[in-house]
Amino acid sequence: MESQPKIANSIYDSFLSALVTGNKITCKKIVKELLNDDIPLRELYIEYFQKSLYEIGSLWEHNRISVAVEHVATGIIEQLMSFVYPLLFEDTDKDKKVLVSCIANEYHQVGAKMVCDIFEMNGWDSYFVGSNIQIEDLIDMIGEKQPDIVGLSISIYFNIPVLLNTIKYIKNNFPEVEIIIGGQATKFIKPAEIAKYKHTRIVNDIFELEQLIRI
Ligand code: B12
């Protein structure tokens, strides 16, 4: 029993080093082996995909890897998410709908995509709108899809004014829609700025999200 964490860590270490060197074949092989060993998808997402990208971000911040290396690594994670997607996608009608989008000027889309996939795993129909979505386009899409929940993703603190403006705009057009906000910049948002909107809240992580959306 005691050796288990060590084994798990060594698999993660191999995954990270393959990712940093851009070795997508090894990354995919490791993911296939983890899936063969029945790793839950959310664990694969959080303990491998998210954890490694956070580490890539920190290496980049400390000038230990280049922007190009970070771009290649992010691209590999996005490919791996597409690879596992068929495992969670069920071709059946679903009652509940969510639409998840990055706000304007927000280019970090992996977390938002992951959130959509978490909704799918929990029996929801999801629409991933993408990165850097202008408010008018988002409003049109909400009008068209009529989701039960709108998820907004924000990673960069300097985008908080854009986020607040987006919430205001959505609430002016769709006062009853539920809005959830997530991403690494949420820790910089003052709670009072959100509290004034009905059915609007920050969701801190995937575990909190799953409590909220379990059908
Ligand atoms: C890849 C990356 C990029 C790529 C993104 C490409 C892409 N296809 O997404 C590019 C090159 C575009 C980029 C650009 C920049 N980046 Co960048 N980037 C990253 C990096 C390395 C990984 C991001 C990622 O995918 N993480 C993994 C995902 C899974 O995690 P996540 O986003 O946190 O999502 C999880 C939760 O937050 C939550 N969540 C997220 N969204 C939502 C939404 C809802 C509704 C809910 C409920 C939950 C939720 O659930 C997810 C799953 O658990 C991070 C490092 C890091 N710590 O993340 C830096 C990082 C985010 N970037 C950073 C910076 C500074 C920048 C730039 C300003 C750099 C520059 N000078 O140009 C620009 C800004 C561009 C912009 N306007 O958006 C900083 C942000 C610091 C800050 N908080 O302000 C970070 C933290 C790097 C660092 N350590 O300094 N970046």
pLDDT digits (tens, 9 = 90+) for 52-66: 999 999 999 999 999
Q: Is the CB of 203 under 6 A from ligand 1?
A: yes
Ligand 1 contact, 206 CB (< 6 A): yes
Q: Over the stretch 99-130, which tens digit does the pLDDT of each residue have?
A: 999 999 999 999 999 999 999 999 999 999 99
* Structure confidence at residue 54 (pLDDT): 98
C-alpha distance from residue 173 to each of 136, 142, 152, 176, 209 (Å): 11, 9, 16, 9, 25
Any ligand 1 atom below 6 A from CB of 69: no
b/e 141-178 (16+ beta carbons within 10 angstroms → b): bbeeeebebbbbbbbbeebbebbbebbeebbeebeebb
From-to residues of CATH 3.40.50.280 in the chain: 97-213
Cβ–Cβ < 8 Å for 9, 24: no
Report the pLDDT value the prediction gives residue 207, as an integer from 0 to 100: 92
- Residue 8: what pLDDT? 58
Homologous superfamily of 4-88 in CATH? Methionine synthase domain (1.10.1240.10)
Distance 108 CA to ligand 1 centre (A): 5
CATH classification number, 97-213, choose in 2.40.40.20, 3.40.50.280, 2.30.110.10, 3.10.129.10: 3.40.50.280
Nearest CA to ligand 1 atom 28: 111
Query: What pLDDT, on a 0 to 100 scale, did the predictor assign at position 9?
Result: 84
Q: How far is CA 68 from CA 64, 109, 152, in A?
A: 12, 17, 27
The pLDDT score that the predictor gives to residue 7 is: 55
- Quickly count: other Cβ atoms within 10 Å of residue 82's Cβ: 10
3-class SS of residue 171: helix
- pLDDT of 137: 98
Q: Which atom of ligand 1 is nearest to the CA of 114?
A: 52
* Cα–chain center distance at 154: 10
Q: What is the pLDDT of residue 3?
A: 44
- CATH 1.10.1240.10: which residues of the chain? 4-88
Low-confidence ranges of the chain (pLDDT < 50): 1-3
Ligand 1 atom with the shortest distance to the CA of 159 = 77
